[in-house]
Structure 1
Amino acid sequence: MSKESNVLVTGAAGQLGRLVIDALLQTVPAERVHALVRNAKAAQGLASLGVKAHIGDYDAPRTLDAAFGGIDRVLLISSNDLGGRVAQHGNVIDAAKRAGVGLLAYTSLLHADTSTLGLAREHVQTENLLRESGVPFVVLRNGWYTENYAATIPASIEHGVMLGSAGSGRISAAARADYAAAAAVVLSNADVKPGRIYELAGDQAFTLAQFAAEVARQAKKAVEYRNLPEAEFKAALVQAGLPDPVAVLLSDSDRGASEGGLFDERGELKKLIGRPTRPFAETIASAIEATIAGAGR
């Protein structure tokens, strides 16, 4: 990537997207960083950083064309519209092709091509679209975010139990910021060549029993991991107020984790970002601190 190259991050107002923007700004001039967001409020927040924000939508190809002009490298952050993602991703890929983008990076799922997780299906379909498009691309097959489990910490501490259906499966999760750093490297490093598939995962694998034990140790309260059959875990998630599609996704992902679907020990993420990934104990500590701070308000 030359000093004059422009990079665009889609979904830039989301949790991962904003972290990618922050990581890019450490090495790329702000005027070369572009962000695709859905509304003016999000655009204003990013513009305050000196980033060029574009309002656009995966479902509206004309808005994508307006944003992609003059862009050299794009990060396509996968949509959260389960069931509708392939068409949306196709719109982004088509826009990148029309704009002559030099490299498109896509956030897929760890071992997507062999994964038994239902979540993998749309990622594989999107990867196939990329291959067929003729657009130069790389695939960032992200493992699980440690924050996905850290989000359950307040309830786990309150009830003394962490529910799941991952059994003794080892989960090579990493912090969201680690995956963001990897995306920033791919967007900004000229040595990254098209055609590469990165299997990205954390350095330190854990079982959910180990995760719960670390929560208990740091919170100084009893927290046990209770393994449930997939259907029972899904029912518990629905009872807790989660929408049915989200409950299906989480329970199925735990089932896949029990079969090794979220485990990887090749260390590609660490190699790509040039440092170890964040230990899960540190993510737990941050979540507990936030819980305590929130309770004190």
Structure 2
Amino acid sequence: MSIVVTGATGHLGRHVVEELLERGVAPADVVAGGRALERVADLAERGVRTARVDYDDPASVAAVLGEGDTVLLISASEPGRRVQQRGTVIDAAARAGVARLVYTSVLAADTTALVLAPEHKATEELLAASGLTTTVLRNGWYSENYVPTLEQARATGVVLSSTGGGRVASAARDDYAAAAAVVLTTDGHEGAVHELSGDTAWAFDELAAVLSELLGREVQHDDVTPEEHRAALLAAGLDEATAGFVVALDGNIRDGALAATSGTLSRLIGRPTTPLADTLRRALP
């Protein structure tokens, strides 16, 4: 019986594998699955089993899952195809008879207006109908999502948003990965839905202050209307779909969709979540 991590060649999945090893899981008991296996070649050298897992290739998914395995399904990333791709893994897991499937969802997936939520909600419905024993990790926002903002602030001295004072309880990928590793290796999470977020919810004025300190230059937060924000993004070269997504997300932040601070994440990992400033500091050259 193995712990199978799908999406292990991506950012979060890679961190989960590392956390499993740090928790003392034998490398031979871990399967790191993904499409770009060259990214996990060093894990293979350490004894981790690696396997090609492509959500668009059901045979590759079925080949890696076995009876009694514990599986972490890392969210697929292709817009409009995520539910189908995740369904491929869920179906294969049910046929294989895995012991438990753990899924990385999003905060309050079944009730939130968050622009990312509908496909997660649909996936959770597939899980509920699958007959599998499941655990749902409803991950909040990743602090690493603001590394591009750090670079923009370095170049312009400005953080542009239409968040209207809304707050974000972000945490580092390492934090969410540590929680996944705990859930994968301990009992008592069967059927659980864990709402996970950072300990502290910050506003974009605070983000600008953090960036000012890290960059050694004044960074100001320009809070504009959604219409002004969209126009500025299009003028900067973003396409309509991307600009619309960014403005919709800022609207979600404005409405409080990413502000929850339940404390569940820090309780699971046994330590405070990583402060925003520490995560961004690691991204500095």
TM range (shorter): over 0.9
From the superposition, tell whether residues 180 and 244 of structure 1 become closer, same or farther in structure 2 (CA, over 3 Å): farther
The answer for the alignment partner of 1:151 in structure 2 is 148
From the superposition, tell whether residues 90 and 49 of structure 1 become closer, same or farther in structure 2 (CA, over 3 Å): same
TM superposition shift of 1:232: 3.5
The answer for the alignment partner of 1:295 in structure 2 is none
Unaligned runs of 5+ in 2: none
Residue 175 (structure 2) aligned to one of 164, 173, 178: 178
Confirm or deny: 8 A CA contact 2:115 2:249 kept in the other structure: yes
Confirm or deny: 8 A CA contact 1:103 1:136 kept in the other structure: yes
TM superposition shift of 1:220: 2.0
Residue 268 (structure 1) aligned to one of 241, 264, 268: 264
CA–CA separation in structure 1 for the residues paired with 2:231 and 2:190 = 43
The answer for the alignment partner of 1:285 in structure 2 is 281
Residue 228 (structure 1) aligned to one of 224, 229, 234: 224
Q: What is the Cα-based RMSD across aligned positions, in Å?
A: 1.6
Partner deviation per Cα, 1:248-286 (whole Å, 9 max, x = no partner): 333211110110000112100001111100011212322
Unaligned runs of 5+ in 1: 291-297
AA aligned to 1:96 is A
Residue 87 (structure 2) aligned to one of 90, 101, 122: 90
Matched, 1:112 2:109: yes
Matched, 1:12 2:8: yes
AA aligned to 1:213 is A
AA aligned to 2:13 is G
From the superposition, tell whether residues 239 and 84 of structure 1 become closer, same or farther in structure 2 (CA, over 3 Å): farther
Residue 99 (structure 1) aligned to one of 96, 101, 112: 96
AA aligned to 2:143 is T
TM superposition shift of 1:244: 4.3
CA–CA separation in structure 2 for the residues paired with 1:38 and 1:235 = 37
TM superposition shift of 1:234: 3.7
Aligned residues: 284
CA–CA separation in structure 2 for the residues paired with 1:286 and 1:238 = 30
Confirm or deny: 8 A CA contact 2:9 2:37 kept in the other structure: no
**Is the deviation greater in 239-248 or in 101-110?**
239-248
Residue 122 (structure 2) aligned to one of 125, 129, 140: 125
TM superposition shift of 1:43: 4.7
TM superposition shift of 1:245: 3.7
Partner deviation per Cα, 1:131-154 (whole Å, 9 max, x = no partner): 001011011000000111132101
CA–CA separation in structure 2 for the residues paired with 1:107 and 1:243 = 28
CA–CA separation in structure 2 for the residues paired with 1:276 and 1:202 = 8
User: SS state of the match for residue 24, structure 1?
Assistant: helix
Matched, 1:141 2:138: yes
CA–CA separation in structure 2 for the residues paired with 1:59 and 1:156 = 38
Superposition TM-score, scaled by structure 2 size: 0.94
From the superposition, tell whether residues 203 and 125 of structure 1 become closer, same or farther in structure 2 (CA, over 3 Å): same
TM superposition shift of 1:47: 1.1
Matched, 1:210 2:180: no
Matched, 1:31 2:28: yes
TM superposition shift of 1:219: 1.9
Confirm or deny: 8 A CA contact 1:8 1:71 kept in the other structure: no
**Is the deviation greater in 212-221 or in 19-28?**
212-221
The answer for the alignment partner of 1:46 in structure 2 is 43
AA aligned to 1:164 is S
CA–CA separation in structure 2 for the residues paired with 1:82 and 1:166 = 23
Confirm or deny: 8 A CA contact 1:43 1:54 kept in the other structure: no
From the superposition, tell whether residues 37 and 203 of structure 1 become closer, same or farther in structure 2 (CA, over 3 Å): same
CA–CA separation in structure 2 for the residues paired with 1:235 and 1:34 = 46
From the superposition, tell whether residues 102 and 239 of structure 1 become closer, same or farther in structure 2 (CA, over 3 Å): farther
CA–CA separation in structure 1 for the residues paired with 2:127 and 2:200 = 31
* Percent of matched pairs sharing the same residue: 45
Partner deviation per Cα, 1:196-255 (whole Å, 9 max, x = no partner): 000000001100111111111232211011122334434434444545444333321111
User: SS state of the match for residue 163, structure 1?
Assistant: strand
Confirm or deny: 8 A CA contact 2:31 2:48 kept in the other structure: yes
Matched, 1:256 2:265: no
Superposition TM-score, scaled by structure 1 size: 0.91
User: SS state of the match for residue 71, structure 2?
Assistant: strand
TM superposition shift of 1:169: 0.7
Confirm or deny: 8 A CA contact 2:27 2:48 kept in the other structure: yes
